[in-house]
Amino acid sequence: MKTNNKAMPVKKYILIYSILVVVTILLDQLSKVWMKGLLDGNRVIKILGNWMTFAWTINDGAAFGSMSGNSVVFFICTVLGLPVFGYFWWRARTRHPFGQIGFAFMIGGTIGNAIDRAFLGDGFFNGGVRDFISVKGFAIFNVADCFLVVGIIMICIALLFLDFDGVFVKQPKQAQQPADEQPSTEEVDD
């Protein structure tokens, strides 16, 4: 599998992946607005029987509704995490585009959920996240969460198989010098 470690020009890199982040945020926010209108009240729409449904909820905890009631803490973690994601996204500039897209998805998904936490509560930093995709016995989540999970999977695949220095990428063998040109290992007496 051919890999590429040549960096894209900086302006082009920033433009392309900024657009991808913005599209990710827009898809998340628009889906939340659309589903809120569609699921007005306690309406549930069956997608795959009772196993997967659209059902509206506000999650003021972490993933899968755990640690409920700590939205301020999660917003602060998000604000602190975004620069870290941005740093790794920037470092990925010389890596495979698959991982770069994964970082853009993570940044967009994180910002999408941060918007909810910042503006949807009874005060700034005090909101929950709008969730509407429900999988019975597993979790309820949203489009931003999907982008986060897909982004993490893409980054892992790139780190393992696609980056030029990936864990499972065969490194090219170095050409060996002919025996008569190799440096001597004999000790020289002075």
Active site includes 180?
Answer: no
Counting every residue written for the chain, the total comes to 190
Q: Which of 144, 138, 135 has its CA nearest to residue 47? A: 135
Q: Contact at 8 Å (CB) between 23 and 108?
A: yes
Q: Please give the Cα distance from 78 to 80 (Å, whole number).
A: 5
Active site includes 145?
Answer: yes
Q: Contact at 8 Å (CB) between 21 and 104?
A: yes
Instruction: Please tell me which residue in 60, 116, 145, 163 is annotated as part of the active site.
Output: 145
Q: Please give the Cα distance from 171 to 74 (Å, whole number).
A: 41
Instruction: Please tell me which residue in 131, 163, 189, 190 is annotated as part of the active site.
Output: 131
Catalytic residue numbers, as ranges:
131, 145
